[in-house]
Structure 1
Amino acid sequence: MTHFTRRATLGLMGGAMTAPFVAKGAWAATPISVGALRFTSHAPSFIALERGYFAEAGIDVNFEFFQAAQPMAVAIASGDADYAMTAISGGLISLAQKGAAKVIGGALSEEQGIDGQKILASNAAYEAGLTDPSQLEGKSFGITQAGSSFHYMGSKIAQAEGAEVSFKPLQKTPAVIGAIKSGQIDAWSIVPHIAKPLAGAGAVQIIGDVADYIPDYQVTTVFTSAKNASDAPDQTRAFLQALSKGAADFNAALVDNTADDAERAEIIKLIAGYVYPDRSVEDARDSVVNGAMRINADCALNRASVMDQLDWFKSEGLVDQDIAYETLVDESYVDIIS
């Protein structure tokens, strides 16, 4: 297996859990770095750490925080992070083709009946007639990088509406937020815990739902280095098992609402500490609740959605045409939703 440094990886980007218990192994004394975004959708990993699920599985986790998906993929491939949970990107697919990364499970999903990602318009664009996605013709759409999940969503929405849009890469999520608030871009799509507070403050307008255009979208996946996937199966299963416990707590408290009030309050407080560290729990509460989309039980992966995303990247010329689904995904760790 080739060793990828972060510098080399950046150059490359240019071109079922069946056991109910995983015993602690030789990796127990080795810190595991987990890539994360300060998004509510990453809550299962925060819950798993704070509630001791990672420790119970014999792994010592620390977080490395990022502001976009593609740099996270770089970190996985270079060994600066061991596991991560984020959207499929062109960079991740290219790194998988180079033998540096593997998708090993599913995380955030769009699900009918659960409030999901929103399509936004700037106030200026809204006042000029962009009141629903059918009016996207000729408009600009914000993305972090070409080949990001924002690019995929924007393209699928525009395609469904028969609209030609221009994509503006702004590198980081905060930069996209600033651009839509100031009217430098016309439209964007983002998770509800960001969309709803922006709209509630009058900074943007919500004009549609991503789920209406991409039903059952596997928004984020769990991934790791190809080396971990092939050479560290016990460690990888331990990580996924602990992450699944965190996801179960999250879904019970904020999605299915089967947890009691005390448990719900505890989960909200825990998440707020990571996602909104500079805000009080009370101030952050609505934002946390608004971000509660389904996290797949047991990290199950939606194969059809991943294949659709891969096909889109190929159709746009963002990845090589001959890359296979099996090159991107290792299906041996989790159940598959077909």
Structure 2
Amino acid sequence: MTFSIRKTLMRAAAAGLALAALSSVPASAADKVTLGALRFTSHAASFVAYERGYFKEQGLDVEFKFFQAAQPMAVAIASGDVDFGVTAITGGLIGLADKGVVKVIGGALHEEKGIDGQIIIVSNKAYDEGVTDPSKLKGRTFGITQSGSSFHYMAAKIADAEGFTLQDMKVKPMQKVGAVIGALKSGQIDAWSIQPHIAKALIAAGAVKKIGMVADFIPDYQVTTVFTSTKIATENRDLVKRFLAAYSKGAADFNAALVDKTQGADGEKAMAELIHKYVYADQPFEKASKSIINGAMRLNPDARLDLTSVKDQLAWFKAENLAPESITLDKLVDPSFVETY
């Protein structure tokens, strides 16, 4: 009798373990996705979508891969090391699109009138020498990450609007954002243009001086875009749609809390705390939150894409021989996933 009871209990326990194991297995396994990002406030939509479970809602198991410049991210997309990326259009990305391996599928960060955007800053040394507005940048050293980067494009647009050429400035590639910051603070370079969460912190610390706004030279600039491999865009459209749905939900939360400020002080603080896990994580929250909150720019609602701006960027890269002459807008952009304008 004792043996019979023991045997029954053992069977029941085994059955219970089996049921528990089955209940822990999802009906369908989530799609694993590697997402390229920079530790910038402008990448917050991705961070929000991850932290608030929006990617999981879409059946996506997201892992971040962080970069220190835009062009290496495009290479990682092309090689398959990264599935989706959010960063600026660069000569490298355009070249890969011309080869048929990368596609822009949506918009991310966008300059908008009335919202503080990217700031043109100079070293204290340059400012003391008279570089007090962008017209004084002729003959000066302008820092960029890499040749063919968005910084390169911005420098050219500033020069053109002020009546001189890019060749009249000394454009200095420094590979990484951190290296540009260090060179500017030490006076090794004269100028740079960068997103407000970085620029405002440097200005507030007395490390640099503000001399202008990028939006005055490039109105409605589509600063960053969402992109993926051509293979994913053509062969796994459902994955792209689910990714963009989750990303867009994150962008909406970000805009509401930090741009439109419709969530009140508590919502603003909660968003800053979330972003702080990824941006300025090495700083105390009290210090980092000021840069995060004051540096918020509009993220395109529903990942809408400003094709007018993209066309202008493409034309400039081609004119400067930083992109193949054969590249067309159709090769660069797949407009079928989001609204374009």
Query: Structures share a fold, TM > 0.5?
Result: yes
Would the aligned equivalents of 2:268 and 2:293 in 1 still touch at CA under 8 Å?
no
What residue number does 1:104 align with?
105
What residue number does 2:83 align with?
82
Q: Give distance in 2, aligned partners of 1:216 and 1:247.
A: 18
Q: Give distance in 2, aligned partners of 1:73 and 1:59.
A: 21
What residue number does 1:113 align with?
114
Matched, 1:136 2:137: yes
Matched, 1:156 2:157: yes
Q: CA deviation at 1:291?
A: 1.8
Counterpart residue identity of residue 223, structure 1: F
Would the aligned equivalents of 1:25 and 1:234 in 2 still touch at CA under 8 Å?
no
Q: Secondary structure at the match of 1:61?
A: strand
Report matched runs for 1:181-220 at 5 Å.
181-220=185-224
- Cα gap change, 1:323 to 1:52, in 2 (>3 Å): same
What residue number does 1:49 align with?
50
What residue number does 1:7 align with?
none
Would the aligned equivalents of 2:248 and 2:302 in 1 still touch at CA under 8 Å?
yes
Q: Secondary structure at the match of 2:160?
A: helix
Counterpart residue identity of residue 263, structure 2: A
Counterpart residue identity of residue 264, structure 2: D
Q: Give distance in 2, aligned partners of 1:278 and 1:180.
A: 21
Q: Give distance in 2, aligned partners of 1:123 and 1:284.
A: 23
Report matched runs for 1:134-283 at 5 Å.
134-163=135-164, 164-283=168-287
Counterpart residue identity of residue 52, structure 1: G
Q: Secondary structure at the match of 1:63?
A: strand
Q: Give distance in 1, aligned partners of 2:267 and 2:191.
A: 37
How many equivalent residue pairs?
313
Q: CA deviation at 1:260?
A: 2.6
Please give the per-residue CA displacement for 1:118-154, whole angstroms capped at 9, x wherever unaligned: 0011111111110000111111100000000000000
Report matched runs for 1:24-63 at 5 Å.
28-63=29-64
Q: Secondary structure at the match of 2:250?
A: helix
Q: CA deviation at 1:297?
A: 0.2
Q: CA deviation at 1:90?
A: 0.2
Please give the per-residue CA displacement for 1:44-75, whole angstroms capped at 9, x wherever unaligned: 00000000000000100010000000010011
What residue number does 1:12 align with?
none
With 253-262 and 215-224 compared, the bigger mean Cα shift is at 253-262
Counterpart residue identity of residue 77, structure 2: I
Q: Secondary structure at the match of 1:206?
A: strand
Q: Give distance in 2, aligned partners of 1:230 and 1:127.
A: 54
Please give the per-residue CA displacement for 1:277-301, whole angstroms capped at 9, x wherever unaligned: 1122212110101220000000000
Q: CA deviation at 1:159?
A: 1.0
Q: Give distance in 2, aligned partners of 1:280 and 1:33.
A: 28
What residue number does 1:16 align with?
none
Would the aligned equivalents of 1:25 and 1:58 in 2 still touch at CA under 8 Å?
no
Matched, 1:284 2:284: no
What residue number does 2:74 align with?
73
What residue number does 2:314 align with?
310
What residue number does 2:328 align with?
324
Structure 2 segments unaligned to the other structure (5+ residues): 1-25
What residue number does 2:15 align with?
none
Would the aligned equivalents of 1:105 and 1:299 in 2 still touch at CA under 8 Å?
yes
Q: Give distance in 1, aligned partners of 2:322 and 2:278.
A: 33
Q: With the length of structure 1 as denominator, give the TM-score of the two structures.
A: 0.91
Q: CA deviation at 1:30?
A: 3.1
Structure 1 segments unaligned to the other structure (5+ residues): 1-23
Q: With the length of structure 2 as denominator, give the TM-score of the two structures.
A: 0.90
Please give the per-residue CA displacement for 1:309-332, whole angstroms capped at 9, x wherever unaligned: 000001101111221001000000
Would the aligned equivalents of 1:106 and 1:301 in 2 still touch at CA under 8 Å?
yes
Q: CA deviation at 1:25?
A: 10
Would the aligned equivalents of 1:118 and 1:191 in 2 still touch at CA under 8 Å?
yes
Q: Give distance in 1, aligned partners of 2:67 and 2:55.
A: 21
Structure of higher CA gyration radius: 2
Q: CA deviation at 1:162?
A: 1.7
Q: CA deviation at 1:29?
A: 3.0
Q: CA deviation at 1:264?
A: 1.7
Matched, 1:294 2:315: no
Report matched runs for 1:4-23 at 5 Å.
none
Q: Secondary structure at the match of 2:278?
A: helix
